[in-house]
Structure 1
Amino acid sequence: MKPFISVCIPTYNGQKYLKDTLDSVLLQTYKDFEILIVDDRSSDNTIDIAEEYAARDTRIEVIRNPQNLGLVGNWNRCIELANGEWIKFVFQDDMIAPNCLEKLFAATQLGKPIIYCRREFIFEPETDEEVKIAYLNHPSAQNPFGDTVNISAQQYSELALKEIGVNLVGEPTSIMLHRNVFYQFGLFNPHLITICDLEFCTRVAINTGISQVPEVLAQFRVHGTSMTSFCSKNRNYRAKILDELLLIHDFAFHVAYAPIRAVAQQYYPETDLAHLFDQKTFSAWKMARKGEYSNEEFAFSPHIELEKVSKFYPLITRTINRNAIEFLKHDILQKMDLLVTSMKGRIKHFSPVVEYMKDRLKTSEKS
């Protein structure tokens, strides 16, 4: 008999926190679930820990990918292997409260195919103070929907358009999804590296609405070895600039984002998403051209990153080519303005010398 819920735990070198994660899942008051640990070719003791737990509990199945699929690829692999009617991700360094599945199961009666609960943060000792403040002040931590239990597709669309690129509901450990959403709306987008969960939840919720369990039932761990931390240090241009560009591309053109475009047309003045895409493309192209974020490794240089995503999003290339002359003209005008400003400053700096030379010339004329 198939379980009602599949708890999916995608792993990669997660030995440090995996036991805490598994213990939190096994303590659930709700019992009708399976645990799928899908490992992406870890090189540490992750598999040993997973198999140790699997030997003790028949609900646990350990799968090792034949090759490394990457973060999003492994998430999608979990979905392919899951047997449950509902899919609940719990990441290898996060935890859930003992009544988390029970509360989320009860919320399935509300009729929405996506449900989320509130979460709190576990800050590891090495976490920078600025990082802590950023997480605690993030919109999702401020409960943007209040205590509303049933959030309509229109409500979600309006806030998603107002807060483009902002995670409104938290990380996957806070979310449970009906398996049908993956048939209806596709899988996680493998071309995004930090907002793949945000994008997928938005893609679904703007069409179906979303249910909230307004209780803290999940814990998200913040630490220096997470993918988010890695991208912030080594792929900031890719994570901050290009991920948002790809999201706006989908807002403007993807068929699943028609509800967002409908809301945009209701605004006065209308939010022109296609024009916003052009602007963001120009900004990303200009940053890459100027070598901004140049402290990143050559393998992740802005120019290479932009080139890579353009292969999968040809409209980026077409937009750059179509507007190349305008882009270059804008760039040249900016440089000319800077040159004029610089020359004005130099003239002002040398004006006493100029006045002195003029005086000398006048004196020599008299003599």
Structure 2
Amino acid sequence: MPLNIAIAGAGFSGAVIANELAQAGHTITVYEPRTHIAGNCYSARDEATQIMLHHFGPHIFHTDKAHIWDYVTQLGEFKPFVNRVKAVTQGQVYSLPINLHTINQFFNKQMSPDEAKAFIASQADKGISEPQNFEQQAQKMIGESLYQAFFKHYTIKQWGRSPDSLPASILKRLPLRFNYDDNYFNHPYQGMPADGYTALVEKLLDHPNINVQLNSAFNAAMKSQYAHVFFSGPLDAYFDYQLGRLPYRTLDFVKETHDGDYQGNAVINYCDSSQAYTRISEHKHFAPWEEHNKTVIFKEYSREATEDDTPYYPVRLSGDNSLLERYIDLAKQEKDITFVGRLGTYCYLDMDVTIDQALNTSKLFLTCLANGQTMPVFTEQ
């Protein structure tokens, strides 16, 4: 029997679940508090320059999952794109992630891969056996000099906290290479949607069983109107912050329009403390198949999110996460609701992981429905 289902949020999590359940015959209402769909992946052409802008920061699609690549490329055309990030520190420009070129340039050497491996091993802090935080992970992985130059001050600007209070897992996601590969990601499937991310989400939501309500926020009082709710908004917001606010970082973007080519690259990180911004992104370089006489850049500033800000990055500290645990316990007392996505699960998720989790959540819901089982409040640990 078709069910009446509500989805809070029209980003990738909500859109994928909406599409999957609509195709299964259910009636879906998607509530989106913003004026647009696609969440923080929202992209649109700049009126003055016609450059496709990533309005909430750069998004480069990358995945190691063939089925996810097949899924997104069926939604729209993807163009080849490799993210080759540059980093400014101590008055020099380097390649990120740290690779053989970075190492040789930084230490003014001409080492082979094996020589560089031995050299970095000699730089590593031998007194750290099991890193307990970001700082220790960096000191063990690359040594003090590279840590100070590329990560310490950037991390403080990005997170507003000392690196020794952040989990080691943040740095573990970044590769260290002993060759000249400057591809920022290791994944075999990488690209950029030719018509932007908004067009992909539009296609997902373009179904007769889906009704999208923009400028409309879902709240707990509306839950009784639906057989089930998938909530991709902030976990603490659903409970009206009754236990307090979970910490998030937000971003301020300062947009500038210039003639020609501003920095010659899509993304340049500013790793030391001489600039307050963390990076500059030049958006026409995200679409190298297009030609534009003018250019648009965004300088990116990170700060603590207030109640009036868009939350971007959940702050998971290496020590106390008791408030999150209390909210998880509160959520597990609920029925007929599943918390999904980056905000609903309070996890930093890349786009491919978000889509994969949404597909798995949809499949599990349909399986539970068919077997008369209870759908879990969280489908991912």
User: TM-score, normalized by length of structure 1?
Assistant: 0.26
**Higher helix proportion (structure 1 or 2):** 1
Higher RCO structure (Cα 8 Å, ≥6 apart): 2
User: TM-score, normalized by length of structure 2?
Assistant: 0.25
**Higher strand proportion (structure 1 or 2):** 2
